Structure 1
């Protein structure tokens, strides 16, 4: 079976290529990746002697999904318009490189920032690890963190929004 790092490298290579679908099978294990509208779907199916159910994980690349409770048709349009207006007023702190997002300097340390924290231009908000180098990412502006768009340990793409900051 492929190691996690090898799968991450495959995801990067497939994302950068024009390949739409990739399948790898070895000794009863199967890895299948498909590109679909700005996301990479990874389907891993392990078939040892005891049959297990397939695991499917979707990794967002450039957009964050916003989910909300169903509302009446009249109010839903207004809510969506307000969300779009609010997001446009916010500054996006983006990843300057492809790598792994870390919210703190070590697994047992507190996160650099949380929702509601005030940041300055030179405040460190996270680390992006690329090729065994840990790169500190700064806030770029003065403001307040209103949303964290990625999870700790998640693979991020170049220019992918990481945080939304209210100026």
Structure 2
């Protein structure tokens, strides 16, 4: 089983919702387990109801407004609709370079071509080179070096060429 097959298997397990997959061949064995907890998003803000009952507390009103504005900052890439987002094809640890003493594969402002290695994601002790699917200019790196990434998490914003 080669790296591409392992990556596709990881993608399949992530998308299908299966908790565990084991494959055993003559000289190769792989087990993929997911421990993903469900993600809950609380879209309602109960705090505005409280100020209506207790009107003399303007400080309580200011705090929920700040909470409502925070998710709006997360939606900022929507404004950049002309940019293409390169997403993580797997769960693992994101690295911008091949080793700590090597330069980054790409930096903001660099031109990339389809098929060019842009980062590495370590998954199950395997270092997977992630290639750009588009040609263009790197506008923003969305993940810190050596940080964990999830499947389909945005990694880079690219302005297409």
Q: Same fold per TM (> 0.5)?
A: yes
- What is the TM-score of this pair, normalised by structure 2? 0.55
Aligned residues, how many? 99
The structure with the largest strand share of the pair is 1
Is 1:85 the equivalent of 2:79?
A: yes
SS of match in other structure, 1:114: coil
Q: Which has the larger radius of gyration?
A: 2
What SS does structure 2 have at the residue aligned with 1:165? strand
With over 3 angstroms needed to count, the CA separation of the structure-2 counterparts of 1:17 and 1:111, relative to structure 1, is: same
Could you tell me which runs of 5 or more consecutive residues in structure 1 were left unpaired when the two chains were aligned. Answer: 1-11, 19-34, 39-63, 68-79
2:148 is aligned to: 155
Q: Alignment RMSD, CA only?
A: 2.6
Equivalent position to 1:120, from 101, 109, 113: 113
Q: Aligned to 2:156, what secondary structure does the other structure show?
A: strand
Q: 2:125 aligns with which of 126, 132, 137?
A: 132
Which ranges in structure 2 are unaligned for 5 or more consecutive residues?
1-33, 43-70
Structure 2 counterpart SS, 1:89: coil
Aligned match for 1:144, one of 137, 140, 145: 137
The 1-side partners of 2:73 and 2:155 are apart by 14
1:84-138 CA-to-partner distances (Å, cap 9, x unmatched) read 332x211111100000000000011100000000000011100000000000001
5 Å-filtered alignment, 1:1-167, equals: 13=35, 16-18=36-38, 37=41, 66=73, 84-86=78-80, 88-167=81-160
Q: Deviation above 3 Å: which 4+ runs of structure 1?
A: 35-38, 64-67
CA displacement 1:39-76 (0-9 Å, x = unmatched): xxxxxxxxxxxxxxxxxxxxxxxxx9848xxxxxxxxx
Which structure dedicates a bigger proportion of its chain to helix?
Answer: 2
